[in-house]
A and B are shown apart, each in its own frame.
Chain A
Amino acid sequence: MKEIKIQAVCGFGCGSSLFLRIKIDQILNDNKLTARTFCGDVGTACSADCDVIFTSAELAERMIDRAKVPVIVINNFMDDKEVAEKVLGFFETINE
């Protein structure tokens, strides 16, 4: 199976997206899933090569029309339950 690429996006790709990426990495690790995770900024996120974008509600609105991949909204970047549900939910869709 090809490597899954997950992009965590914030305004500049170096602050809140990093928090989100850390949490996603933790969920992947806990569930023995492998994927490459990286941070992006809202300006260039849609042209970056990835399979899915995770971001906040405010930034998702700006990308949803341009994105070629699913854009998944995370409301609380540090909530294990929410991030796990959404990350695992995404993996289910690609395994179908």
Chain B
Amino acid sequence: MEAIIKKENMRVKLPAGDWQEAIRQVGTVLKEAGSITDGYINAMIEAVKEYGPYIVIMPGFALAHAAPCEAVLHEDMALITLEEPVCFGSANDPVSVMLCVACVDQDSHIRALQKVALALGEEDIFGKMAAAETVDELYGILHHV
């Protein structure tokens, strides 16, 4: 089975004191993967400052992203859970699962993101993800194995 999100791009129970640290944590996974530079992490934080916490699109879940830009080296995605949930000031707070999407344009990542959206449709999936103790467990929950 093809991975929806690579296991190497998943982490569990990362520490974050606030939403900015949470975005840095998920962004750092993609930076370490060689897919983005620091500029993209800063752009994701600026986006929330500019537009508000709209990235918290479901209870407990934030989709961190910014506009396609030079700081994106490859299209990629990362998924993390937080040790302690953080608040963004959204009605869907607190957040314990974060997805980071780096895109090179507005279209090429659609199929990949579509698979994630379908996989996340299951009821209380974020509760299960937040409780995962290992990356293998988190991977299994997303891929329904």
Main secondary structure of the interface of B (DSSP, over half): loop
Asked whether, in the complex, the Cβ of A23 is within 8 Å of the Cβ of B117, the reply is yes
Per DSSP, are chain A's interface residues mostly helix, strand or loop, or mixed? mixed
Name B68's closest neighbour in chain A (CB-CB): A14
0/1 string, B81-98, CB within 8 A of A gives 1? 000000000111000000
Which of A15, A23, A79 is B101 in contact with, Cβ under 8 Å?
A: A15
A41 partner residues in chain B, CB cutoff 8 A: 67
Chain A contact-residue range equals: 20 to 34
CB distance from A64 to the nearest CB of B (A): 14
Whether B57 lies near A12 (C-beta < 8 A) is no
Would B65 and A78 count as touching, CB distance under 8 A? no
A96 and B11 alpha carbons, distance in the complex (Å): 51
Binding site for B on A (CB under 8 A): 10-16, 18-20, 22-23, 39, 41-42, 55-59, 62, 75-80
